Chain A
């Protein structure tokens, strides 16, 4: 599988009055053509900021301080965030779907206008052609009576329908990569299932790659081929979906997997919760950020700085001194 996007040593920070928040701290990841990759973590772990950095959508007081974003062989960091090169890539070649469909659609423009705007801008389509294409797209994402719905405003759609519109919009310019940032978090369970299934099919039809950013482990288990687990601005474990779920290596991954109730669990099982809270990202210590919450910690974790991502298996990396399997004995 050819790599389409490779992010190397990305650092994104926010310079606030309280101090420098290192939201993304030396993060590297890659995605292959037509691959579905999951980025998992809790709020504040940097999963969204890392993706916004790829889109070059970081605004003051935030800034990308270093790193490379290699997309189709070109380094996006070389371009101005608002320059013509980025504008021709953003939305067209790399598209993004956000969590809250109500706030990411313009409430005073019709759905049709917002869809055709993209087509006219990026694809240089004529007005009529763009409108026809827009109807086609709405049809594809399963919006009934697409022809008439085109002249409706976002508030006339339900949450699930709005997110379908977002999918249509994101895919309108045949993007190479679709980044979906918590695309179904604000939706109901059955609508979530509908939408994820739709996204999977659509991404396949368009030969795009999909980055699924979510806190829901079930969703990535169902759809992703590879997974990155993030904690406190860093990737703590990465690997193929089956390895991460079958042989999790980082204590945080292990904790995360055992603290969510599963529908198929045995009766009377108690959840083992992760004690404590995620750390404050200002003035982070040099050693492991998960240390205060870790139940596997050894002396080495306290004295040495946070280790790098080390291979522990085929395409399986973790950032930890301890092998939990050995420690349990």
Chain B
């Protein structure tokens, strides 16, 4: 499995091999639970347990799910902030899942991360200009001082900030402006993949739209840019993504095009998630069917046997607690992990 990516590329039904920028296979990220004086491992938190998906060049893939479903962990494992417990991550033809830290530099130049909280993800003692320009130094992308300045100014303009604000500190900016700084920094090294982890959930409603539009704009402007857009709000994810993967307790339960996901959801969890999102229109809400799930998301420390969703599933059968459902293609480009579909 680890043979530098050539084999994995042509697997499956998708034959657009070189168009695939990221191919994740059976990714597992477990966190050990340590107890006692000797810090012995007593259990594993299976944050991500066998996740498989791919991302095409210039595509936006949405990763949606509730807290604790492992969506952020997937994002962080891809950029290798966490070391995967198992599985492969093939990025631009290279398996990076087992790459040692010292060899990750060039990989991280090609991918970057936008964080949720624009208040805590920017160094308060660094000026905005130096926050944005820092990655270019780290990756030795610029030689002359003037080239650096020009590039930082250009990045500021790209994200809709005035370059004159480069000497200010993060506290002098509003939340939306700070997120723009975060985006400019993420774009500094011309990445081919940007992982956006809940980039708008800390912002006010009227500012959220500005940032969503900016992210969409940038992605159309730079042909080589792909996003993984991680969020809990399915309406936002659907708006920005071409394809969506729905996660539940460390597993992908359904993955398909965003239009298909809304029109024809197949997994019972996807259906419940869709119906839980209120539509800002009282006329539609009047007649809408509501699936109210019972219970809560179980702990990934001790996930239920069989399908992880079966205890809350309104249509579960006795078999659901015995068989772990495979993610299988039920119609072109529509994959579901449910034995009943």
Is B285 a contact of A259 with CB atoms below 8 Å?
no
Is B209 a contact of A277 with CB atoms below 8 Å?
no
Name the contact of A259 in the complex, choosing from B205, B233, B281, B296 (C-beta under 8 A): B205
Is A278 a contact of B276 with CB atoms below 8 Å?
no
Contact residues in B for A220 (Cβ distance below 8 Å): 280
Q: Does B208 contact A (CB under 8 A)?
A: yes
Is B234 a contact of A193 with CB atoms below 8 Å?
no
Is A189 a contact of B277 with CB atoms below 8 Å?
yes
Q: Does A1 contact B (CB under 8 A)?
A: no
Is B66 a contact of A217 with CB atoms below 8 Å?
no
Is B279 a contact of A259 with CB atoms below 8 Å?
no
Is A263 a contact of B209 with CB atoms below 8 Å?
no
Contact residues in B for A190 (Cβ distance below 8 Å): 66, 272-273, 276, 293
Contact residues in A for B283 (Cβ distance below 8 Å): 242, 245-246
Is B279 a contact of A277 with CB atoms below 8 Å?
no
Is A221 a contact of B282 with CB atoms below 8 Å?
yes
Chain B 194-207 against A: per-residue CB contact (8 Å), 1 yes, 0 no?
Answer: 00000000001111
Kindly specify which of A21-29, A75-83, A203-211, A266-274 makes contact with the partner chain.
Answer: A266-274
Q: Does A43 contact B (CB under 8 A)?
A: yes
Is A261 a contact of B235 with CB atoms below 8 Å?
yes
**Interface bracket on B:** 35 or more
Is B281 a contact of A245 with CB atoms below 8 Å?
yes
Q: Does B284 contact A (CB under 8 A)?
A: yes
Chain A 191-230 against B: per-residue CB contact (8 Å), 1 yes, 0 no?
Answer: 1111001000000000000000001111111100000000
Contact residues in A for B280 (Cβ distance below 8 Å): 217-218, 220-221, 245, 257, 260, 262
Compute how far the CA of A221 lies from the CA of B283 in the bound complex, rounded to whole angstroms: 8
Answer whether A219 and B176 are a contact pair too, CB < 8 Å, given A264-B284, A278-B204.
no
Is B206 a contact of A42 with CB atoms below 8 Å?
yes
Is B66 a contact of A277 with CB atoms below 8 Å?
no
Contact residues in A for B207 (Cβ distance below 8 Å): 273, 277
Q: Does B18 contact A (CB under 8 A)?
A: no
Compute how far the CA of A277 lies from the CA of B283 in the bound complex, rounded to whole angstroms: 31
Compute how far the CA of A160 lies from the CA of B240 in the bound complex, rounded to whole angstroms: 29
Q: Could you tell me which residues of chain A, from 234 to 274, have a CB within 8 Å of some CB in chain B?
A: 241-242, 245-246, 255-257, 259-265, 267, 269-274
Query: Number of A interface residues, CB 8 Å?
Result: 45
Is B205 a contact of A277 with CB atoms below 8 Å?
no
Name the contact of B292 in the complex, choosing from A197, A246, A257 (C-beta under 8 A): A197
Answer whether A271 and B209 are a contact pair too, CB < 8 Å, given A193-B276, A197-B292.
yes
Is A189 a contact of B206 with CB atoms below 8 Å?
no
Closest 9 CB pairs of A and B: A218-B278, A261-B239, A273-B209, A259-B209, A188-B66, A193-B276, A217-B280, A222-B278, A274-B206
- Please list the residues of chain B having a beta carbon within 8 angstroms of any beta carbon in chain A: 66-67, 174, 176, 204-210, 212-213, 216, 232-236, 238-240, 258-259, 262, 272-285, 290, 292-294, 296-297
Known: A221-B285, A255-B206. 4 other contacts (CB 8 A): A218-B277, A221-B279, A270-B216, A277-B207
Q: List 15 A-B contacts (CB under 8 A).
A: A42-B206, A188-B66, A189-B232, A197-B290, A215-B204, A218-B235, A218-B278, A218-B279, A221-B282, A255-B206, A261-B212, A261-B238, A262-B281, A273-B213, A275-B210
- Please list the residues of chain A having a beta carbon within 8 angstroms of any beta carbon in chain B: 42-43, 158, 160-161, 188-194, 197, 215-222, 241-242, 245-246, 255-257, 259-265, 267, 269-275, 277-278
